[in-house]
Amino acid sequence: MTVYLDHAATTPMLPGAVRALTDEMTRTGNPSSLHGSGRAARRVVEESRESLAAALGARPSDVLWTSGGTEADNLAVKGLFWARRREDPTRRRILVSAVEHHAVLDPAFWMAEHTGAELVLLPVDSDGVLDVDALRDELDRHGEQAALLSVMWANNEVGALQPLDEVVSLARRYGVPVHADAVQAVGQVPVDFAASGLDAMTVSGHKVGGPGGTGALLARRGLDLMPVQHGGGQERGVRSGTLDAALLVSFAAAVDEAVAARPVVAPRIAALRDELVAGVLAAVPDAQLRGPVDTARRLPFNAHFTFPGCEGDSLLYLLDSAGIEASTGSACQAGVPRPSHVLLAMGVDEHDARGALRFSLGHTSSADDVAALVATLPAVVDRARAAGLAGVR
């Protein structure tokens, strides 16, 4: 039996999302066509837009469909920067937290390299939470030159919830639009786009029990965005491309189901997460929980550890061979494992950061999953440490 503890990477589709997808896939129609089949597909797209907006505290006109979280993040970073620079050439600074997902960091670095943008990486504390004082200082000194600010709702690796209320309040003083990647947050914590004060927010389908290849950028009506891709002029002329009614109705159904179930599901999974944390620390006493210890300040589905003397990849493969699937959270470029940029930004030593594992739970997780991990982990850690020592010799 496989124990799946990588729900933050992707989680099984919810029953309602599967039904919506299979039902709609039997129908034909391009939502941009004017005949009956096209109008029927358009109706499904717009009803899905209304459903998603209602679940996330937004207006239907705020919802821009995308192919996923990565495209939505790219549209936010690039589209906001180009639009602001067109309006005011002096606004060239892109402010992002140092622990953003690569879907935000990489386009920001690309903009700095290719378009003359000035990239500012905002520091975080040892829990992975944005240093608000550093943001305040940056805005006090250079707020008039800031084109945009992107701070994720919750970190995908260590689960740290970010102080978005303070972020939005500070940015508003200088007229700086704020984007948040909320991919991990939806279905785990309350997410209300209008109440947040954000200008733009990214969500993704396959993280909440919907199909892959679906996402949305919630962008308040009137927010100026430069298109990143061009074509048929769909989605307010900002995101061209033929819309897939079946995928979108399934995505919207998943978000609706996950948000509606959150008051019951999140406490249940949080209790499992607490069992997992306690079990891991009892089984491997020198393991270190990363991210906020205060459970009110981290995602309820997330537990992230570093294991001294271990390589995360070794732990991952050994667990996988035992039927337990997790994640390291680190990047691998050109076949070379690299420590997580999130952990390094938190001040974790590079050697310690290499021994990271993220266990993330979801709607299908059970106490048996946690028990299997806790029973298996000590032997896995011992073998990983032995392999590390042998490599040193």
**Which candidate in 332, 375, 386, 389 is catalytic?**
332
Domain end residue (candidates: 257, 272, 305): 257
Residues 227 and 317 in one domain: no
Supply the CATH number for residue 337's domain: 3.90.1150.10
Encoded amino acid at 99, one letter? V
Residues 216 and 333 in one domain: no
Which is nearest to 65 in space by CA: 274, 242, 314, 266? Answer: 242
Using a 10 angstrom Cβ sphere, with 0-12 exposed, 13-18 middle and 19 or more buried, the burial of residue 391 is exposed
Which SS3 state, helix, strand or coil, does residue 366 take?
A: coil
Domain end residue (candidates: 257, 290, 319): 257
Report whether pLDDT(151) > 50.
Answer: yes
What is the count of structural domains for the chain? Answer: 2
**Beta carbons within 10 angstroms of residue 166's beta carbon:** 14
310 is an active site residue: no
Residues 164 and 221 in one domain: yes
> Which parts of 284-366 fold into alpha helices (H)?
312-321, 341-345, 350-353
Supply the CATH number for residue 146's domain: 3.40.640.10
Which is nearest to 389 in space by CA: 322, 323, 310? Answer: 310
Residues 362 and 349 in one domain: yes
* Displacement of CA 9 from its chain's centroid (Å): 9
- Strand 336-338, strand 331-333: pairing: antiparallel
Q: What is the pLDDT of residues 58-110, one digit of tens each?
A: 999 999 999 999 999 999 999 999 999 999 999 999 999 999 999 999 999 99
Residues 248 and 296 in one domain: no
Q: How far apart, in whole angstroms, are the C-alpha atoms of residue 391 and residue 372?
A: 29
Residues 294 and 148 in one domain: no
Residue 178 belongs to domain spanning: 15-257
Q: How far apart, in whole angstroms, are the C-alpha atoms of residue 357 and residue 319?
A: 11
Q: What is the pLDDT of residues 10-51, one digit of tens each?
A: 999 999 999 999 999 999 999 999 999 999 999 999 999 999
Domain end residue (candidates: 257, 288, 304): 257
